[in-house]
Structure 1
Amino acid sequence: MKNHFVLFDLDGTITDSSEGIINSILYALKKMGKEESDFSRLRSYVGPSLKTTFQNHYFPLEEDSNKAIAYYREYYAKKGIYENRLYSGIYDVLKEIKGNGGIIALATAKPTYFAKIILKHFEIMGCFDVVVGSHLRGTRTQKDEIIFEVLDQLGFPDSREVFMVGDREYDIIGGKHHRLKTIGVNYGYGTEGELFKVRPDYIVKSPFEILDCIKLFTNQ
C-alpha cells in the first residue's frame, strides 16, 4: 500500500459547526449595531476566515472588523464552540485511515487554539498527527499558508501522496496551490456549483466516500 497523507478541513468537513458560528456572528453584529436576517448568507460565512467575513461584508475598516472578531470570540469561547456536532461516519473514516497507516492532519482557518479544544471535546485528537490553524492574533488565515505549515511539519512529503479534503473552494484552491490531490465534500457548507467551479479531483456526498477516493489511490 502506498504511503498517504490526508489533510482535513474542520468546519463543514469533520464537524457541522454552523449553529455555533452563525450564533457567534449574530452576537458580534448585534454588539456592533448591525443585523443580518439572511440565513443563506450567514451559512456562506462558515469556512472563510473571520477577517474575510467581517471586513468584506460588514466592516471594511480594520479597527471595526477587529472589534467584531473580539465580540465573536466572546460568544464563541463560552458557548458557540460547543454548538457543534460530528458528521455521521467521520469518526469511523478517521479510524480507518489511521488503521491503514495513513497520516492525518487538520488544516483549518479556525485558530489552532479553538481547533484543538474541538478535537479534544469530540475525543478525536488522537487521530491527528498534526493540527494547524490560524493564529489568534489574526495572521496565517489563508488556506495555502495553513497547508504550507502542515506540509512543513510533515516534512514536505511527495505531493502525489497527499490529499486535501474540504467543503469550500478555499480548501480546493489551497490544495491545488501545493499540487495535492483534492477531495471536495458536498455535505458541508459549500455549494455543488462552488466545488465544480474549482474542479477538485473528486467530489463526494458522504464521509465514507472519502475512503473510496483514498483507496483508489492507495491500491494502485
Structure 2
Amino acid sequence: MRPEFSCILFDLDGTIVDSAPGITATLAFTFEQLGLPIPSPAELVAYVGPPILDSFRDLAGFTPEQSQQALEIYRPEYLRHGAFNATVYPGVEDVLKAIHASDVPLGLATSKPETPAKLILEHYDLVKYFDVITGASDDEVRSAKADVVEEALRRLVSIGADVTRTVMVGDRSHDVHGAAAHDVPTIFVRWGYGSPAEEVGSIAVVDSAEQLLPLLLS
C-alpha cells in the first residue's frame, strides 16, 4: 500500500484499547477512599480520555488541592489493578501491524502518563509497532493533548521522520483540538468514548478498524 500520510499518531484509551473498565473501577475506589459518593457508571466513563486532573476539575469540581489528593490515591491503585483491565479493540492490532510494515513512522500520543501507557502496550505486545511512545509526563506537567502531540512530533523529528503530513487517530474532541493546534488533522473513531458532537473538526469518521486502514494507507 502507498502511504497516504508521512507519520501517524494514535491515541490509546478508546482508540487502541477499551480501558474504561480499569479506569472507572479505579475512579470508584478513589471516590470511596475520599469518602465521597461514587458517580454513576455513565458519569465515570466521561472521565476516560481527557487528562485525569482535568477530569477531576471539570467533572468532579475538585480544587487543585483536592485533585492532587485524588491523584495520589488513583495513580498507585491504577498501576496495581486497573491498567490491565482492558481489551484491544477488534482489528486495531492489524492496523498497527500494517502501518509498521509500510515503514510509515508510528507514534503514540496519549493523555495517559507514559509509564502506564508503555506498560499497557507491552502487556498486549503492541509496543513493537511504535517508533515513539509519548504520553503525559508522570508528574502531569505535560498533560494537555496539544502538549503531548507537540512532544510526539518532536520525538518523531529526532529520529528523522518527515512530520509534514502527520495525521492523528483518536476518539475524543481533545484529540481533534490538540492535534489541530499543530496543524495535524484527525481521523475520528466511533468505537471509543466520544459523542457525535466531538467529531466536529475531524477530516473523517470511521466505525471500524477495517474502515480506518484504507484512509491511512491507500
Tell me, in whole angstroms, the C-alpha distance in 1 between the residues paired with 2:157 and 2:149. Answer: 12
Asked if 1 retains the 8 angstrom alpha-carbon contact of 2:153 and 2:163, the reply is no
Tell me, in whole angstroms, the C-alpha distance in 2 between the residues paired with 1:58 and 1:203. Answer: 30
Query: In the alignment, which residue of structure 1 is the partner of 2:167?
Result: 163
Higher mean displacement: 31-40 or 114-123: 31-40
Query: In the alignment, which residue of structure 2 is the partner of 1:57?
Result: 59
Superposed CA RMSD: 1.5
* Structure 2 alignment gaps of length 5 or more: none
Higher mean displacement: 74-83 or 165-174: 74-83
Q: Residue 12 of structure 2: SS of its match in structure 1?
A: coil
| TM norm structure 1 | 0.92
Q: Residue 106 of structure 2: SS of its match in structure 1?
A: strand
* Structure 1 alignment gaps of length 5 or more: none
Q: Residue 217 of structure 2: SS of its match in structure 1?
A: helix
Asked if 1 retains the 8 angstrom alpha-carbon contact of 2:47 and 2:59, the reply is no
**Paired residue total:** 214
Residue 55 (structure 2) pairs with residue 38 (structure 1) = no
Percentage identity across aligned positions? Answer: 34
Q: 1:86-126 deviations in whole A, cap 9, x for unaligned?
A: 01111111011111121110000111011000010001111
Residue 206 (structure 2) pairs with residue 179 (structure 1) = no
How far apart are 1:60 and its partner, in Å?
A: 2.8
Asked if 1 retains the 8 angstrom alpha-carbon contact of 2:7 and 2:163, the reply is no
The amino acid that maps onto 1:69 is L
Match of 2:15 among 13, 16, 19: 13
How far apart are 1:30 and its partner, in Å?
A: 0.7
Query: In the alignment, which residue of structure 1 is the partner of 2:196?
Result: 192
Higher mean displacement: 60-69 or 140-149: 60-69
| TM norm structure 2 | 0.93
Match of 1:69 among 58, 68, 71: 71
Q: Residue 213 of structure 1: SS of its match in structure 2?
A: helix
Query: In the alignment, which residue of structure 2 is the partner of 1:100?
Result: 102
How far apart are 1:159 and its partner, in Å?
A: 5.0
Tell me, in whole angstroms, the C-alpha distance in 2 between the residues paired with 1:34 and 1:60. Answer: 12
How far apart are 1:65 and its partner, in Å?
A: 0.8
Tell me, in whole angstroms, the C-alpha distance in 1 between the residues paired with 2:139 and 2:201. Answer: 32
Q: 1:129-185 deviations in whole A, cap 9, x for unaligned?
A: 000111121210000000000111111865552110000000011111111121000
How far apart are 1:16 and its partner, in Å?
A: 0.3
The amino acid that maps onto 2:151 is E
Tell me, in whole angstroms, the C-alpha distance in 2 between the residues paired with 1:59 and 1:14. Answer: 29
Query: In the alignment, which residue of structure 2 is the partner of 1:109?
Result: 111
Asked if 2 retains the 8 angstrom alpha-carbon contact of 1:159 and 1:180, the reply is no
Tell me, in whole angstroms, the C-alpha distance in 2 between the residues paired with 1:34 and 1:137. Answer: 25
How far apart are 1:38 and its partner, in Å?
A: 2.2
The amino acid that maps onto 1:202 is A
Asked if 1 retains the 8 angstrom alpha-carbon contact of 2:157 and 2:163, the reply is no
Asked if 2 retains the 8 angstrom alpha-carbon contact of 1:159 and 1:178, the reply is no
The amino acid that maps onto 1:181 is P
